Amino acid sequence: MMLTPEQIVEVQKANLDKLLGLSLKSFAHVEKAVELNLNTVKIALEDGVEAIKALSAAKDVQDFVAVSSAVAQPLSEKAVAYGKNVYTLASGIASEAAQLVEEQVNEGNKKFVELFEAASKNAPAGSEGAIALVKSAITAANSAYDSVSKATKQAVEMAEANVEAASKATLKAATAAASTAKGRKAA
């Protein structure tokens, strides 16, 4: 069974539509990243001005240390939040691209199997062994692809869990440092 020119054009058109869709999604993610960065810079500048005002109003070293630690904790929380937002944006586009690739592989696989089945119906007598061998190879390749796909998804889930745990640990450490600094001021 041969593909007709119309079928080839349809496949190309479908692939182009998917590529354009992914490009639009990628552009939306870039817009979000630019917006995130601009907001982060704006907030950092505002926070910096407030921190300088607060530090310049400190009356002694202990007051300066207390103000410094009070300023540091929100900054570390904002840095962690920024990192999580950047990771979310990056993983979003990667996830969408992976989904598109998976769809393309599944679609291509399905079409190949259909073509192979049609071709094997017209195969000459005595080629059953070769056909069985190719079918076995297709099944093994599909199984290997499924295993790799599952392992990749598990790795992504593990990475997301690690990012979340690291974020919590960073916030906990910042809170502990701020508490220690407040305790020193009180003493």
Question: Does residue 1 carry a pLDDT above 60?
Answer: no
Q: Which residues of 58-82 are buried (b: 16+ CB within 10 A; e: fewer)?
A: eeeeeeeebbebebebeebeebbeb
pLDDT tens for 21-54 read 888 888 898 899 999 999 999 999 999 899 899 8
Question: What is the Cα–Cα distance from 58 to 55, expressed in whole angstroms?
Answer: 5
Question: Does residue 156 carry a pLDDT above 80?
Answer: no
Q: Where are the domains of the chain?
A: 13-186
Write the Ramachandran bin of 99: left for phi over 0, alpha for psi from -120 to 50, otherwise beta.
Answer: alpha
* For range 77-83, the mean pLDDT: 87
pLDDT band at 181 (very low <50, low <70, confident <90, very high): low
pLDDT of residue 133: 84
